Structure 1
Amino acid sequence: MPLIRSLWLRLWLHLACIAMGLPAHAAPALSDRPMRAGFGLVVKFDQGQPTAQLDLLPELGVRWVRDAVQWVDMEPRAGEYKPFPPAFSQRLQRYRQQGIGVIYMLGYANGKAYPATKAAPRAPIDPEALGRYAAHVTGLLKAAGVDFAVQVWNEPHNFQILKMVGGAWNGRPPSPWVDHYVDMLRAVSEHVQKKAPGTPVITSEDVLVNHYWFAQHPRLPQGFKGIGLHAYANESSSGPEVVAPYADSEWARPFQLVDRDRAFATAIDRLKRHTRKHTGVEPEVWITEWGFKVDGRFAGGRVTEELVAAFLPRAYVLAEAAGVKVLCWFSMQDANDGAYGLIDRAGRQRPAFRTYAAMSRIVGDLRLTQRLSPAGQQTRGTQAYLFEQGSRRTLMVWSADNQSRTLPLDPAWSATRILDAYGEPVKVGTRQVVRQAELGAAPIYIELGAGSTPRWPPRAGD
C-alpha cells in the first residue's frame, strides 16, 4: 500500500505541474552565477577613446574588458621587454579597483624586433617569440593584481597570419596558417602556464568553422579549452538569435555548424560538443566580440540605433543561457571601427548604452534559471527567461522575430512592476478585464510578486 500511495502522489504532482504550466521535473538552473559575471566590453582607450569614459564602466556593471598594448611597443628589440606604458598601468589599477578582469590580446606582428628575412619570412609572427612575450605580459598582469585571460591574436585569418602563411579563409586543408596559429597557441600556453598556472588562454576567430579546425588539430596543446569567438550575425540574420552560417553552408563542410533554424544556442552547443570530442575537456566559450553596426543591414532592413539597443540585452541572455563565460560587446566607443560603439565619437551615449545599464540594474545581480518559451522556438515568436535571486523573480520577454505581439499578464505571476528595455515603467493596457503588455524587438522586464508561479504559456485568467 505505501508503494501504491507513493506512485499516486507522484502522478498527482506530475498532473498538477502540467495543469499549472510548470515542468513536471525541475530542470537544473541555466546558470549558477549572477548575470553580471558575464558582462564584458571591448574598450578602445588604445585607439583614442577618452580616458574619462573609464568612469562609465560601473554604470554598466562590466566585469571584463578587452584591452591591450601592441607587441612592438612592449618588445622593441628582441628580448628587450618593457613595462606597461603609464596610461595602461593606470587603467589596470582602475580595473582592479572596480573588480574588472582584463582579456589581454596578444598581437600584432612584431617586425621591429623580429624583422622578416629571406631565410625567415615569418619571423615577425614567430610562435616561440610570441610565447616569450606572453610570459612577460603574464608576469606584469599578475603583479598588477587583476583577473586576466590571454587571447592569442585577433582573427588570424583576417589579420596577418593567413596573408603571411597562406591557406583558405575557412581553414579547409591544406591551410598552413591554421598549423602556424595552433603552434602559436601551443607556445603561448606553455609559457603562460609556467608563469601563472590556470590562466585562461583563448583563441580568436570570427569564422565559426575555424574553431572546429583548431579543436581537432593534432598539435593543439593537451587540455586546451579556451574558445574566443566573435559571434557576429550578418544581413540574413533577424537578430542575435540567428547566426550567420546555415546548416548546409558549403564553406563549413565537412562540419554542420548549426541546426536548420540557425539558432545561436545550437551553434554554441555543436561547437562545444565538437571541441569536447577532440580535446577530452569541457570547453570555455568566451565571446570577445559581438555587436551590430548602426546603419548596417539585417534581415529586416537597416540597423537603427534603437534596434541595436534591443539586440544587446537579448544577446547577453542568449550567451548566458548557452553557458558562455563572458560576452564582450563590441564596442564601448566607435574609435576606428565605425558606428559599433555604445558611445559615438562626439561622446554621445547611444540608446544601447542605456539598455546595457538597465539590464545591469534590473537583472545583473540575479541568476538566469529557466527558459520558459518552447525549446523548438528559439529564433521566432515570444522568448521568455526567468531570473531569480532569493525572493526576487523577474521575467525578461521579447519577440525574437521583432514582430509586435500582445502578452497577457498571467494573474499567477503576481506582477508588481513592468519595465521597458531602458528601465522605464510600462503602462499596461487592458482588453475587457485582461491585463496585457505589448512586445516587440526590445525586451521588457516583468517583476513577479512573492509566491508567484512563473508558468508558461501565460494565461489570461483562471
Structure 2
Amino acid sequence: MASLGIAGSQAEPLPPGTGPNPELNYNMGVATHFVRKGNMRHHDPVKYMPMVAELGVGWIRDEIMWNQVEQEKGQYSIPELSTEWIDLANRHGLKIIVVFSGGNTRLYPDDPFAPDAYAKAVAFVAKELRGKIHALEIVNEPFGHYAAAYGQGTKKGGTWYGRDKDGSTSDWVKRYVVLLNKAAAAIKAVNPDIKVIGLGSAPQVNYQQIALGVSPNVDGITAHPYSYRTPPEIVPYPGTPANRKRDGFVVTDEAGTFSSLIEKYREWSAKHKGPREIWLTEWGYTTYLEGTARTNYSGFTEEAQAAYSQRRFLEGLGLGVDVSCQYVFLDKKHDTKGYDPRNSEHNFGLLRHDGTPRPVYHAVQRVAKSTLGFTPVSGADALGVKIQPFSDRTERHPVVWDGDELPAPNRIASYQFRDKDGRPVIALWSMERVRDLNPRAADIEIDISPDSKIEVLDLMTGDRYAPEAKAKHGRLTLPLFQVPTHPILLHVSVKK
C-alpha cells in the first residue's frame, strides 16, 4: 500500500465488515498474535481465525506496531499483514481491539513515545480502519517498554506500583497520561464512534493516573487482572493497612477479591471523573511445567486452567464488566522457534503451540455459547438465594504474596442473570482451588414457589439434569446440592 500523509489523505475508509454475528458473545474475547512479530509467525490468521469464531467469543485483541505504520516521518500506511488479519476477522463478524504498540525510536530518538507524533499516527489508524476496528488501546502495559524508554519501570528495576523511592509518583506515570489524552483526542476527532481504552498497568498505577486526570475522550479503563498463583476470585493486591500506607489508598478489600477490584475501580474513577467502562484486555492461566527460574505465575493443570477460565468469565459477566479478553488464543511460540514447556509465558494458550486445543478451549466455548444474551441481575431484581455449605473448605496453606496470605475464598459464588428470553439463571461454583475432592455439598434455598422447575447445565461437561428439589418454608430448596469447582447454571422456570 502506498504511504499517505494523514493531513492530505483523501482515502475512503475501508469497507465495513459483515457486522455483528448473532452467534458470537460480545462480552467475551481472546488475545491473539496475528501481528506475527518476532517469533510469532506461526499465528496464521487463515488457519486460526475460523477457530476463534468457532470459540464463540465476539472480540479479538491484537496489535499494530507504530514503527510499521510510520516508517518515514509524517507518512503512514497500514501494514499488509495487518490488513490480512483484520479483513479475516471482519468476515467472521469478530470485533477488534487494536493495541497501538511500541515506540518509534528510529524516527523519534529523543522521545520514542513522543505524544504528538504518536497521536497523529494512531489517528491515521483510526481513520483508515474506520468500521473495521472497534477499539484502540493506547500502548500495552506501559509499566514495561513504555516506562523503560524513560529509564524507569519494571524493566529498569522499578516496582509495579509506579512510585519512586521517596514515595512520589514516577515520571513515566505522568507522561503516559499526557500520551493517552492526546491520543484519545486525535482518535475521536477522526472516528468518534470507536472506543478508546487505556492505562493497563497494576491497579495502583492506574489509580494514580486516573487521579491525575484522564480525558473524557477515553471510554474505558484497561485492566490486566492476572491472578498469578491464586484462583480467579483473588488478585494479589489485598487492601491491607500496610498497602494503604504504601499507596495512600487500597484497590481491593482486605482479602484481595476480584469483585472488590472491579467495584473499587468504578468508585475511584467516578470520584475523579474518569472512564466509566472497564475492559479486561488480558488475564489468563499458564500450564507451564516447573523447572526453570522463578516466575510470578504458578503452573496450573489443564483441568484447573479450564475451570478458572470459566470462573473468571462468569464473574466478570456477573459484575457487569464491559469486555473480558483471555490471554492467549495460541501459545506464544512454536516448537521450532523457541517454545519451552517450562517457560510460563509460552503456555497460556487455549491452543497448544502445535495448534491442538487444550480443555480450556472447549470450556470457554461452552461459556460463550451458553451465556449468549445474558444480562446481569442484582439487588431488588434478583431472586432471593440462600446458600448453606455442608463443609468448611478453608485453604490451610495459602499463597503468600509480598508478605500477605491470599487464601481461596471459603464460599460458593452466586451470580444471577436473565437469559435472552428474560428468564432467571443462577450461576454457582465453589471458589476453592481445583483439587482431588468431590464437589462441595450445600443446601440451596431459592425464594420461589416450590412448584417451580430447575434445570442445571454443567458448563464443563455440557450435561443437563433436573436436581432433587423440596419445599421448605414455602420456598424451593435443593438439599445437599453438588456444587463443583467450575460453574453450573441453574435455569429457573418460576411457577406463579
Query: Partner of 2:441 in structure 1?
Result: 406
Q: CA deviation at 1:89?
A: 1.8
**Which of 352, 377, 381 is the equivalent residue of 2:411?**
381
Query: Partner of 1:228 in structure 2?
Result: 222
SS at match of 2:186: helix
SS at match of 2:30: strand
**Which of 118, 140, 143 is the equivalent residue of 1:154?**
140
TM-score (norm 1): 0.79
SS at match of 1:38: strand
Q: 1:435 to 1:212 in 2, by over 3 A?
A: closer
**Which of 264, 269, 278 is the equivalent residue of 1:270?**
264
Q: Give the conservation status (yes or no) of the 8 Å contact 2:198–2:218.
A: no
Q: What are the Cα deviations for residues 65-116 of structure 1, in whole angstroms up to 9, with x where unaligned?
A: 111221111111211211331x3223222322333221111110112322x2
Between 435-444 and 95-104, report the one with greater CA deviation: 435-444
Query: Partner of 2:31 in structure 1?
Result: 42
TM-score (norm 2): 0.74
SS at match of 2:317: helix
Q: 1:399 to 1:300 in 2, by over 3 A?
A: farther
Query: Partner of 1:140 in structure 2?
Result: 128
Q: Give the conservation status (yes or no) of the 8 Å contact 2:185–2:217.
A: no
The answer as to 2:321 corresponding to 1:335 is no
SS at match of 1:285: strand
Q: Distance in 1 between matches of 2:59 and 2:79?
A: 19
Q: What are the Cα deviations for residues 7-26 of structure 1, in whole angstroms up to 9, with x where unaligned?
A: xxxxxxxxxxxxxxxxxxxx
Q: CA deviation at 1:183?
A: 1.4
Between 263-272 and 389-398, report the one with greater CA deviation: 389-398
Q: What are the Cα deviations for residues 407-460 of structure 1, in whole angstroms up to 9, with x where unaligned?
A: 4577655223543423234696899x9875532211223333x3358xxxxxxx
1:199-348 equivalent positions in 2, closer than 5 A: 199-218=194-213, 220-222=214-216, 224-235=218-229, 237=230, 239-248=231-240, 250=243, 253-279=247-273, 281=274, 283-295=276-288, 303-336=300-333, 337-348=345-356
Q: 1:383 to 1:82 in 2, by over 3 A?
A: same
Between Structure 1 and Structure 2, which shows a larger proportion of helix residues? 1
* Matched letter for residue 209 of structure 2: F
Q: Distance in 2 between matches of 1:262 and 1:229?
A: 15
**Unmatched 5+ residue regions in structure 2?**
1-21, 334-344, 390-407, 471-476
SS at match of 1:69: strand
SS at match of 2:60: strand
Q: Give the conservation status (yes or no) of the 8 Å contact 1:275–1:283.
A: yes
The answer as to 2:454 corresponding to 1:415 is yes
Q: Give the conservation status (yes or no) of the 8 Å contact 1:206–1:232.
A: no
* Matched letter for residue 236 of structure 2: A
Q: 1:430 to 1:153 in 2, by over 3 A?
A: same
* Matched letter for residue 315 of structure 2: L
Q: Distance in 2 between matches of 1:321 and 1:417?
A: 18
Q: What are the Cα deviations for residues 320-376 of structure 1, in whole angstroms up to 9, with x where unaligned?
A: 22221100100101124311010011111011101111112222233232476679x
* Matched letter for residue 294 of structure 1: T
Query: Partner of 1:352 in structure 2?
Result: 360
* Matched letter for residue 221 of structure 1: S
Q: Give the conservation status (yes or no) of the 8 Å contact 1:75–1:81.
A: yes
Q: Distance in 2 between matches of 1:374 and 1:359?
A: 24
SS at match of 1:386: strand
The answer as to 2:494 corresponding to 1:451 is yes
Query: Partner of 2:95 in structure 1?
Result: 101
Query: Partner of 1:192 in structure 2?
Result: 187
Query: Partner of 1:171 in structure 2?
Result: 162
Q: Give the conservation status (yes or no) of the 8 Å contact 1:429–1:436.
A: no
Q: Give the conservation status (yes or no) of the 8 Å contact 1:125–1:161.
A: no
Q: What are the Cα deviations for residues 286-307 of structure 1, in whole angstroms up to 9, with x where unaligned?
A: 1010111114799997511111
Relative contact order higher in (CA < 8 Å, ≥ 6 apart): 1
Query: Partner of 1:438 in structure 2?
Result: 482
Q: Give the conservation status (yes or no) of the 8 Å contact 1:204–1:230.
A: no
Q: Distance in 1 between matches of 2:415 and 2:452?
A: 13
* Matched letter for residue 441 of structure 1: T
Q: CA deviation at 1:231?
A: 0.6
Q: 1:221 to 1:367 in 2, by over 3 A?
A: closer
Query: Partner of 1:395 in structure 2?
Result: 426
Q: CA deviation at 1:187?
A: 1.7
Q: CA deviation at 1:56?
A: 1.4
Q: 1:95 to 1:82 in 2, by over 3 A?
A: same
Q: Give the conservation status (yes or no) of the 8 Å contact 1:233–1:243.
A: yes
Q: Distance in 2 between matches of 1:413 and 1:163?
A: 62
Q: Distance in 2 between matches of 1:70 and 1:282?
A: 25
SS at match of 2:249: coil
Q: Distance in 2 between matches of 1:424 and 1:241?
A: 25
Query: Partner of 1:64 in structure 2?
Result: 59
Q: Distance in 2 between matches of 1:322 and 1:335?
A: 30
Q: Give the conservation status (yes or no) of the 8 Å contact 1:206–1:231.
A: no
Q: Distance in 1 between matches of 2:177 and 2:122?
A: 15
Q: Give the conservation status (yes or no) of the 8 Å contact 2:367–2:459.
A: no
Q: Give the conservation status (yes or no) of the 8 Å contact 2:126–2:190.
A: yes
